Amino acid sequence: MPELPEVETIRRQLAPALHGKRISRLRVIDPKWGTPIAADELAALIEGRTFDGLDRRGKYLIFDLGDEVFLICHLRMTGNFLYDADPEVPYQRAVFELDGGHTLRFTDPRRFGTAEVILGGDALDEYFAGRLGIEPFSGALDGAALGTLASGKRTSIKAFLLDQRAVAGIGNIYADEALFRAEVHPMREAGRLQAAQYELLAQTIQDALQAGLDAGGATIDDFRHADGLYGSFQDEFLVHRRAGEPCPRCGTEVRKMVVAGRGTYVCERCQTRPRGASKRRGAAAASRSGQQP
């Protein structure tokens, strides 16, 4: 699933290409994309409008269509926005026809991506207030903020990082990479890290996300840039998807286990397993890991 660096990579490419372009027609190929808004209703709201800006919150793209009309899109598992792509590109769910013969195509093999129209800046703020927590590069993510958010939480730190209402934009890849960099085991109880660990984790979250951004995101499954090229951060993962390979810090074999229901990669020498997290649970998780993403 595209995470903050992948979505931000798309945003940076599309923003200058789309700016000032008028949408002459919106063809909704898959009506499920805008559910519950009917396809013709969605087209009527959007056709004739001009792209004024493109923002991002967490893993959401926000197309500013002027007059306080916003189109909010989530890519979910396999969504991509392609600019001036081959008209025959597979899995298209919607096509924006723009003035000057340009196109913006939304492709999505697994069809989980969503689109919603929000009217008014206040409604936009309200939409995200209930869904998203701290934006990692807003300047507000530090150890104190992380510690406050995690306070009293008995869930695993991995589950906490995946919760978009705490910190927005982190998914399975960047949670593993940030926890490894901070030398924190993903099974640690979220509310029970030391102040210095929250401080370090706040930093390594930003480091991991920045490394992802610098590489144009990671391409697993189907993530592509707006021009159809692929990200390369998958070649730079320190532990994610590296089960059986040596830890880049100490050489111990990286292990795969299931934490928070997700395939999770750990060096258990660098990231000490918390007392009480049973070996049996880890062993059971490892035996299931072949079926987990």
By C-beta, is 37 or 277 nearer to Zn ion? 277
Residue 72 bridge partners (DSSP): 62, 116
Six-digit token string for 110: 């697994």
Query: Which of residues 56 and 240 has its CB atom nearest to Zn ion in the complex?
Result: 240
Residue ranges binding Zn ion (CB under 5 A): 247, 249-250, 252, 267, 269-270
Of the two residues 57 and 181, which places its CB atom closer to Zn ion in the complex? 181
Structure tokens, 53 = 């800006």
- The terminus-to-terminus CA distance of the chain in angstroms comes to 11
For the bound state, the minimum distance from the C-beta of residue 181 to Zn ion, rounded and expressed in Å, comes to 11
> Are the CB atoms for 113 and 257 separated by under 8 Å?
no
Name the amino acid, one letter, at 112. Answer: F
Instruction: Report whether 265 contacts 254 (CB < 8 A).
Output: yes
CB of residue 246 vs Zn ion: minimum separation in angstroms? 8
Catalytic residue among 249, 262, 269, 273: 262
Q: Is 262 a residue of the active site?
A: yes
**Is 3 one of the catalytic residues?**
yes
Is 59 among the catalytic positions?
A: yes
Nearest to 94 by CA among 115, 78, 110: 115
For the question of residue 8 being annotated catalytic, the response is: no
CB of 282 to Zn ion, least distance (A): 16
Out of 59, 224, 242, 256, which one is annotated catalytic? 59
Least distance from C-beta 208 to Zn ion, angstroms? 16
- The nearer residue to Zn ion, 12 or 269, going by C-beta atoms, is 269
Q: H/E/C letters for each residue in 257-270?
A: EEECCEEEEECCCC
Q: Which two tokens stand for residue 38?
A: 């009917």
Catalytic residue annotation: 2-3, 59, 262
